[in-house]
Amino acid sequence: MAQIRDLLGGSPTLSFEFFPPKTDAAARGLEKTVYELRRANPTFVSVTYGAGGTDAHRTRDLVVELTLNHPFPTMAHLTCMNHRRQDLVTLLEDYRDHGVRNILALGGDPPADGSAPSGELTYASELVDLVRTVDDFTVGVAAFPELHPRSENTGQDRRFLAHKLERADFAVTQFFFDAAPYFRMVEELASLGCHTPILPGLMPVTNPASIARFAAMNGTRVPPGLWARISEAGDDDRLEIALEAASQLGHELLDGGAPGVHLYTLNRSDVAMRVAENLGFVSAAS
Ligand code: FAD
């Protein structure tokens, strides 16, 4: 199975993010989504990991299933907070033994009840180092163009990010709706001597209530003009506005030199496919 690091640096990459379904019906829905999105010939796909390791087996099983049954590489998200080192190593060895070659190494979040995080690792950079001890995986990490919500100042955030990126092969960003903070982050990292590829994450806003919740959680700014158009629109118009906004942002990012785009699909194929088409990733013959 290909390693993502070998696919970066040429033509812009296209990747799709999925979450592990919780019911049989949702699993059948995701299977259909994945087959539909194969037409876009994605460079890779990724599978999220439940907060703090909840339902970790679902992520593991889906990652292994996608790796075995599809031609594109699958990347497993993995968080380290609230985990024991040996449990992480055991999971990484299991991935290695099933041909999974790509890991997104994440810090994860402290418990929602405000209690102190447990576990033997605190930061994603420590997980990157741990992953490297198990095998020669491609290791991705997270980046936050508008700063990580727990970061107190930009300079410190960028220094920690540069330190993490020096150990990783690439990064994927949190979703955002304005290209300027992405390009500013890339420049700030370059001024620290860091040139690791950073794939921007695009989330088409099809459900205003959940986007507002995610955006507040992640410190993402939703431009007021886009927010007003989306909130006032009916379902069909909303879909078209979401597509237009995501496609326009994608064009701006790719034209400005972003190495690819990562689409948060929410396990739906329709919107992701149309954004991929609008960005020129799907040829008429496919
Ligand atoms: P870190 O890199 O550890 O950074 C967290 C904070 O600590 C930042 O403020 C950073 O500046 C600071 N920091 C870093 N190093 C140090 C240091 N040495 N000393 C002091 N401070 C430091 N969460 C999930 O639970 N499951 C998922 O599947 C998942 N997928 C994600 C995918 C993407 C693309 C992104 C962007 C996020 C994802 N998340 C996921 C969320 C992520 O786990 C949280 O945002 C988490 O709060 C931070 O993760 P991180 O990897 O950026 O952490």
Residue 187 known to be catalytic: no
Structure tokens at 63: 């990652």
What is residue 189's predicted lDDT score, i.e. its pLDDT?
98
Give per-residue pLDDT as tens, 266-279: 999 999 999 999 99
- CA 156 to centroid of ligand 1, rounded, Å: 14
| In the block, residue with structure tokens 């991929």 | 276
What is residue 185's predicted lDDT score, i.e. its pLDDT?
98
Helix 56-69 and helix 85-97, axial crossing angle in degrees, nearest 10: 20
Sign (positive/negative) of CA torsion 130, 63, 265, 197?
Answer: positive
What is residue 285's predicted lDDT score, i.e. its pLDDT?
64
Report residues of the chain scoring pLDDT below 50: none
What is residue 284's predicted lDDT score, i.e. its pLDDT?
65
What is residue 214's predicted lDDT score, i.e. its pLDDT?
81
C-beta of 109 in contact with ligand 1 (< 6 A): yes
Which domains are assigned to the chain? 4-278 (3.20.20.220)
- CA 262 to centroid of ligand 1, rounded, Å: 17
Structure tokens at 271: 């919107």
C-beta of 55 in contact with ligand 1 (< 6 A): no
Instruction: Give the number of residues written for the chain.
Output: 286
